[in-house]
Amino acid sequence: TQLLEQSPQFLSIQEGENLTVYCNSSSVFSSLQWYRQEPGEGPVLLVTVVTGGEVKKLKRLTFQFGDARKDSSLHITAAQPGDTGLYLCAGTNTDKLIFGTGTRLQVFP
Amino acid sequence: DSGVTQTPKHLITATGQRVTLRCSPRSGDLSVYWYQQSLDQGLQFLIQYYNGEERAKGNILERFSAQQFPDLHSELNLSSLELGDSALYFCASTAAAGPSYEQYFGPGTRLTVT
């Protein structure tokens, strides 16, 4: 069974702080996606990384795919209250998307 | 608004009952995925349909079944409900069959089994 473990599970920080969320697996994935989910809504795709070592930036968010395509990280610079939500990584194999355990982020003003 | 609709938004029912959840994909999308999200287990893939045919199966219980109709809407049937089936059920749609394509999620159906 392919598993994606995210850490930390919960994160509460003040506005302006930086943070990193990790997504780790013992399995290799063909690509990895990051989603954000807000209460009462479905997850929304933030980014897809495909190549080992790939780095993608989305405003204050930086995503990196590990060289071996088994892990990924999400770094947020100068977090804002609007970043609050559940962050989910998801790895793709041939026929399905495997979601990580999730990181719940709370950013206080 | 993702363009994916799910009904009902909330459902409260008793153990042993049967319910049907409905999903309409985004216009033009042929693939529908069903997921279960509970507090202690994250988002679990249940089943995928592509253009009316079952394409991939995840951790779907035998008490659960799904189908995709000619108009591409999909229904997830949950029977002999147990307390542990209480969860959020999401469907997502994509234009193509592969899982690496962006999945657009609906707002979910919150099922409470009492």
Does residue B3 contact residue A42 with C-beta atoms inside 8 Å? Answer: no
Query: Which pLDDT value is given to residue A2?
Result: 63
Q: Which of A95, A101, A103 to mutate to test the interface with B (most CBs of B within 10 A)?
A: A95
pLDDT 10s digits, A22-45: 999 999 998 999 999 998 889 999
Instruction: Give residue ranges of A with CB < 8 Å to any B CB.
Output: 30-31, 33, 40-45, 48, 50, 88, 90, 92-93, 95-102
- Strand, coil or helix: what is B84? helix
CA pair distance A79, A75, nearest whole angstrom: 10
Q: What percent of chain A has pLDDT over 70?
A: 98
A44–B48 CB contact, under 8 Å: no
Q: Is the pLDDT of residue B53 over 90?
A: yes
Query: Which pLDDT value is given to residue A39?
Result: 84
Would you place residue A88 in the very low, low, confident or very high pLDDT band (cuts 50, 70, 90)?
Answer: very high
B42–A92 CB contact, under 8 Å: no
**Chain A contact present for B87, CB below 8 A:** no
- Strand, coil or helix: what is B42? strand
